[in-house]
Amino acid sequence: MVETYYKAVNWNAVEDAIDKATWEKLTEQFWLDTRIPLSNDLDDWRTLNATEKTVVDHVFGGLTLLDTLQSQDGIDQLRKDVRTPQELAVFNNIQFMESVHAKSYSSIFSTLCSAEEIDEIFDWTDHNEFLQKKAKMVNEIYQNGKPLEKKVASVFLETFLFYSGFYTPLYYLGNNKLANVAEIIKLIIRDESVHGTYIGYKFQVGFKALSEDEQARFQDWMYNLLYDLYDNEERYTEALYDDVGWTDDVKVFLRYNANKALMNLGQNPLFPDTADDVNPIVMNGLSTGTANHDFFSQVGNGYLLGHVAAMKDQDYDIGRK
């Protein structure tokens, strides 16, 4: 009789059906930045003034930093707390896709920006006070938090903190501009929607196992964290958007997405803002399907790896009831 030293992962004895369903969903929607014809957006890009271009540059610089954090530290920490071997496989997929996300902004930069402009963007992300603070707040929980706290930090990051940045490409998409740049962002949002739902679900499994007292104490911690992150996010939004006058609209969008993050975690919304309060141009950008690019001919008529169905509104709500 040999004692088991190492367990082989058995996908025919899946403990949690959500692991398998998530694996299938994520692998079905696999994509790469290199297959989107970004240079088709150059004509639109030239119509933007210098201030508008700087907003786009810094927005994508900030998003690069957050996806770098997810790919380098976030998933690395979450994978230490898995309950099943299939969950670990799902995190392998998520971690790789976070690297695709982080890289895809560089594809946008290399298409739209000069070398000096790219240097300026990365210098800005290194030194923007509020961007650095949010990365620090989230990463400190990743490094030192308990398993449930790490999951909250990840869902707050992915379902809430990214949206100060996502606002810009969705706004331009809603105005029929930068459609290919927006296509990348929509593919990222489609991934994040699954990540947020999945990690939120894993959170809820652990949260339900706590006593009522422990749950109440945990909720205090969670809502306090959200307030602190929201405070910083308001400052970040002002730094990004005051020059173009979009700050108030973006803050509505932030609160709407903060509520969505809480929903992913099975918690009650904090802010009164709903979809009806968000700028309809941005909601319009959010609700249009991905364009399904054919990566051989670049005609924008079908991203043909696997069967990628056009996105519907409710696709952003999977797993939420």
**In this structure, are residues 39 and 111 in contact, taking their beta carbons and an 8 Å threshold?**
yes
195 is in an annotated binding site: yes
**In this structure, are residues 70 and 2 in contact, taking their beta carbons and an 8 Å threshold?**
no
Distances (CA, A) of 212 to 146, 186, 204, 206, 219: 18, 39, 14, 13, 10
Rounded Cα–Cα distance for residues 29 and 214 (Å)? 37
Residues shown for the chain: 321
- Looking at residue 85, what DSSP letter applies? H
98 is in an annotated binding site: yes
Minimal distance in Å, beta carbon 196 to Mn ion?
A: 7
Minimal distance in Å, beta carbon 195 to Mn ion?
A: 4
One symbol per residue from 173 to 192: x for binding Mn ion (CB under 5 A), - otherwise; what is it? -------------------x
**CA 82 from centre of chain:** 21
Joined tokens for residue 236: 């970040």
In the list 19, 57, 158, 249, the residue contacting Mn ion (rule: CB under 5 A) is 158
**Considering the rule CB under 5 A, would residue 33 count as an interface residue with Mn ion?**
no
Interacting positions 89-118 with Mn ion (CB under 5 A): 98, 101
Q: Which is nearer to Mn ion, 41 or 192 (CB)?
A: 192
Minimal distance in Å, beta carbon 43 to Mn ion?
A: 28
Q: Which is nearer to Mn ion, 72 or 298 (CB)?
A: 72
192 is in an annotated binding site: yes
Q: 198 catalytic, yes or no?
A: no
67 is in an annotated binding site: yes
Q: Is 145 helix (H, G, I), strand (E, B) or coil?
A: coil
The active-site residue out of 5, 6, 105, 172 is 105
Minimal distance in Å, beta carbon 15 to Mn ion?
A: 23
CA angle (79, 80, 81) in 5-degree steps: 90
Minimal distance in Å, beta carbon 228 to Mn ion?
A: 21
Provide Rg for the chain, Cα atoms.
20
15 is in an annotated binding site: no
Q: Is 39 helix (H, G, I), strand (E, B) or coil?
A: helix
One symbol per residue from 188 to 217: x for binding Mn ion (CB under 5 A), - otherwise; what is it? ----x--x----------------------
Rounded Cα–Cα distance for residues 169 and 81 (Å)? 34
Rounded Cα–Cα distance for residues 319 and 321 (Å)? 6
In the list 67, 183, 233, 273, the residue contacting Mn ion (rule: CB under 5 A) is 67
Specify binding-site residues. Answer: 67, 98, 101, 158, 192, 195
- Catalytic residue numbers read 105
Specify binding-site residues for Fe cation. Answer: 67, 98, 101, 158, 192, 195
Chain residues that interact with Mn ion, rule: CB under 5 A: 67, 98, 101, 158, 192, 195
